[in-house]
Homo-oligomer: A and B are copies of this chain.
Amino acid sequence: MKLYDYAAAPNPRRVRIFLAEKNLEIETIQIDIRNNEQKSEAFLKLSPLGEVPLLQLDDGTCISQVNAICRYIEEIHPENPLFGRTALEKALVESSNHQLNMNGIVAVTEGFRNSNPMFEGRAIAGPNSYAQIPALAERGLLRVDHLFRDLEAHFAASEFIIGDYFSVADITAFVTMDFAGWIKKTIPEDCVNLQRWYDQVNARPSSNA
């Protein structure tokens, strides 16, 4: 297996942290998104949509999308499960992970791609061109403010996203916190419970991945 990766970007990092939590090391190949290497002829042969991260299996099959890659890894390395241990826990992880992706990763991405001149004409990742929408960049900032408040309330009563169980949903939320810095948003000082959780996750060896 090989992971097509870009060290600076949040979505590949979610996969790297997942792998580190599983104590797995796999070969990574850097695709320089900043210089549009994901649109090179060579890479488009692997991923027609130019998607990074991308997992390539030994037979050449490619899997795109963070959660699809992580689920594949969970299937072939089920020990130390991160998508839940029971039917109910799996459902709660899926639900929270989806909401955190939408209200976290997607919200920051909207804030970033709709304001940074580098993404002019490509406000949505992929082959189609979409103009930037300044109001969407503004809304991204507002959504991150709401997310901080929602997570502060959550962590006042819970160690992790799902009770005392560390899951892939914590990885999504954790990477969102660092990614928010790209639109100059950091955990507000009065969000002490959110900060406690962040420090706890940040102290795990996987956070360096």
Contact = CB atoms under 8 A, between A and B. Distances in A.
Per CB-CB distance, the 10 closest pairs between chain A and chain B, nearest first, are: A68-B95, A75-B87, A72-B91, A68-B94, A65-B95, A133-B135, A68-B91, A63-B91, A128-B146, A65-B98
Contacts of A57: 88
A104 B88 CA distance: 27
Nearest to A110: B136
Interface string A177-209: 000000000000000000000000000000000
A142 B130 CA distance: 9
B68 A92 contact: yes
Q: How large is the interface on A (under 10, 10 to 19, 20 to 34, 35 or more residues)?
A: 20 to 34
Given A68-B94, A133-B133, 14 more contacts: A57-B88, A61-B88, A63-B91, A67-B98, A71-B94, A72-B87, A72-B91, A75-B90, A76-B87, A124-B143, A128-B146, A130-B139, A133-B139, A136-B136
Contact of A72 (B63, B90, B130, B131): B90
A161 interface: no
Interface of A: 57, 61, 63-65, 67-69, 71-72, 75-76, 87-88, 90-92, 94-95, 98-99, 124, 128, 130-131, 133, 135-136, 139, 142-143, 146
